[in-house]
């Protein structure tokens, strides 16, 4: 049996090491940070939204990029498998809104602590503060690694699970891309997803801090609708953020400025119903100026901005508003265009899109199609999903697939 080395002690790396050891493999986990699971600690705002209690088909609908590649890995280690693993080992979980799953304590540290204990029990050797400089390959077969300190560690299998480039403070510095490229793999340029959006429109920035609930965002590119969902969003000092915006960012075209973002402030009403309501409001308050009636329809600060956005006068008396102006108000309430200039920096994104091309990786084992004994797991791969625990589950599932396959290969190699 040859040694298996896992590079990276995040979610994918910990799961890969654990499943490899549970499958009988001899495993060493190398982590560049001073502790394991550094990015896991900040997921779910420190509460750790560790997975989503949904079916496989439902899960696949939430994968924004390369979903078919993940089918085998997700089928081999499901969200329910992850929940059971924690439940059965002293870390109970709870299912909350949107079927998001958290540790019952709502402390991310409990998830990392449980996995660390399970790795210890399974015999995983963990080395912290150890970065890898090179992966050694001879005749297309992995031979081991060389650390930054110059130490050569022999191994027949290496699992690369170093993460993407989002939240670099956690150690996700993109070093895994360098290692993969050096071995001939195609690495697609990393870009931010699950990211807030930048808008240069002054009215957007003036609404900083305003949160909207039960609104609908639509993303259009030409005549093609890329996204439409109802939920919550937030105006910020740089543009827009919040759950709807983060999810929508997964569907932005390569040139975000070419996309059209439409905000429906009254999605529960048809245009006919909304028009009838406007006519009732204007008739009931026919002597008031429009600017004094709009707060009954919209949050205060947005009501102040609204006349200019609709192209009507806020001084107009409601009883004298023309049909043409009413139609402008109606249209703007249900199709307010938010100019978008691009995404926030990659360092602020929750997840990285891009990375190792999945065309060069075997889906069932996560093994490289170019180098025998080299495996990939987690965010390093060019896959990503919406918020709700899906990205962490991708890390658990791809890590489990890589760990089990590497263990099997380590036995076959001897």
What mean pLDDT value characterizes the chain? 93
pLDDT at 349: 78
Question: How far is residue 194's CA from residue 49's CA, in Å, rounded to a whole number?
Answer: 15
> Which runs of E-coded beta strand occur in 293-381?
336-338, 342-343, 351-356, 374-376
pLDDT at 93: 97
Q: Give the mean pLDDT of 134-139.
A: 97
Q: How confident is the model at residue 46 (pLDDT cuts 50, 70, 90)?
A: confident
Give the angle subtended at the CA of 136 by the CAs of 131 and 137, to the nearest 5°. 150
| Tens-digit pLDDT profile for residues 300-357 | 999 999 999 999 999 999 999 999 999 999 999 999 999 999 889 877 877 888 899 9
pLDDT at 353: 86
- The share of the chain scoring above pLDDT 90, in percent, equals 84
Lowest-confidence pick of 55-59, 267-271, 301-305, 342-346? 342-346
List, in sequence order, every residue forming a beta bridge with 94; answer none if it has no partner: 102
| DSSP annotation string for 16-58 | HHHHHHHTT-EEEEE-SSSSS-TTGGGGGGGT---EE---HHH
| Tens-digit pLDDT profile for residues 87-125 | 999 999 999 999 999 999 999 999 999 999 999 999 999
pLDDT at 167: 53
On the question of pLDDT at 256 being above 80, the answer is no
3-state secondary structure of 10: coil
Query: Model's pTM, two decimal places?
Result: 0.85
pLDDT at 381: 96
Higher pLDDT, 360 or 251: 360
What is the distance of C-alpha 317 from the center of its chain? 47
Question: How far is residue 397's CA from residue 393's CA, in Å, rounded to a whole number?
Answer: 6
Q: How confident is the model at residue 169 (pLDDT cuts 50, 70, 90)?
A: low
């Amino acid at each position: 049996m040859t040694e298996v080395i896992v590079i990276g002690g995040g979610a994918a790396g910990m799961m890969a090491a654990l499943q490899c050891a549970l499958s009988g493999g001899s495993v060493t986990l190398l982590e560049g940070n001073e502790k394991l699971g550094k990015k896991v600690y900040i997921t779910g705002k420190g509460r750790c939204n560790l997975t989503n209690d949904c079916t496989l088909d439902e899960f696949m609908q939430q994968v924004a990029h390369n979903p078919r590649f993940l089918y085998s890995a997700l089928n081999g280690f499901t969200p329910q498998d992850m929940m059971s693993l924690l439940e059965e080992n002293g870390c109970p979980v709870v299912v909350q809104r949107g079927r998001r799953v958290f540790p019952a304590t709502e402390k991310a540290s409990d998830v990392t602590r449980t996995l660390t204990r399970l790795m210890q029990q399974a015999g995983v050797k963990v080395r912290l503060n150890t970065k890898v400089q090179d992966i050694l390959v001879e005749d297309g077969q992995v031979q081991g690694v060389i650390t930054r300190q110059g130490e050569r560690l022999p191994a027949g299998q290496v699992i690369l699970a170093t993460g993407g480039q989002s939240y670099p403070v956690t150690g996700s510095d993109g070093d895994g891309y360098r290692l993969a490229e050096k071995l001939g793999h195609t690495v697609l340029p990393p870009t931010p997803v699950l990211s807030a959006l930048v808008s240069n429109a002054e009215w957007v920035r003036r609404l900083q801090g305003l949160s909207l609930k039960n609104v609908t965002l639509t993303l259009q590119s030409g005549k093609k609708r890329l996204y439409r969902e109802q939920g919550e969003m937030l105006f910020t000092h740089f543009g827009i953020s919040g759950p709807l915006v983060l999810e929508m960012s997964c569907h932005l075209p390569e040139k975000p400025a070419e996309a059209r973002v439409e905000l429906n402030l009254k999605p529960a009403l048809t245009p006919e119903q909304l028009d009838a309501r406007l006519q009732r409001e204007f008739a009931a308050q026919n002597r008031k100026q429009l600017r004094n009636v709009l707060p009954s329809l919209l949050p205060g600060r947005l009501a102040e901005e609204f006349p200019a956005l609709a192209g009507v006068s806020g001084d107009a008396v409601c009883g004298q508003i023309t049909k043409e102006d009413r139609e402008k108000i109606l249209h703007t309430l249900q199709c307010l265009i938010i100019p978008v200039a691009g995404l926030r920096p990659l360092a602020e994104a929750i997840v990285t899109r891009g990375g190792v091309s999945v065309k060069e990786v075997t889906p069932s084992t996560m093994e490289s199609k170019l180098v025998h004994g080299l495996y990939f797991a987690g965010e390093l791969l060019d896959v990503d999903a919406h918020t709700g625990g899906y990205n962490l589950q991708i890390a658990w599932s791809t890590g489990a697939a890589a760990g089990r396959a590497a263990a099997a290969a380590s036995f076959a190699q001897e």
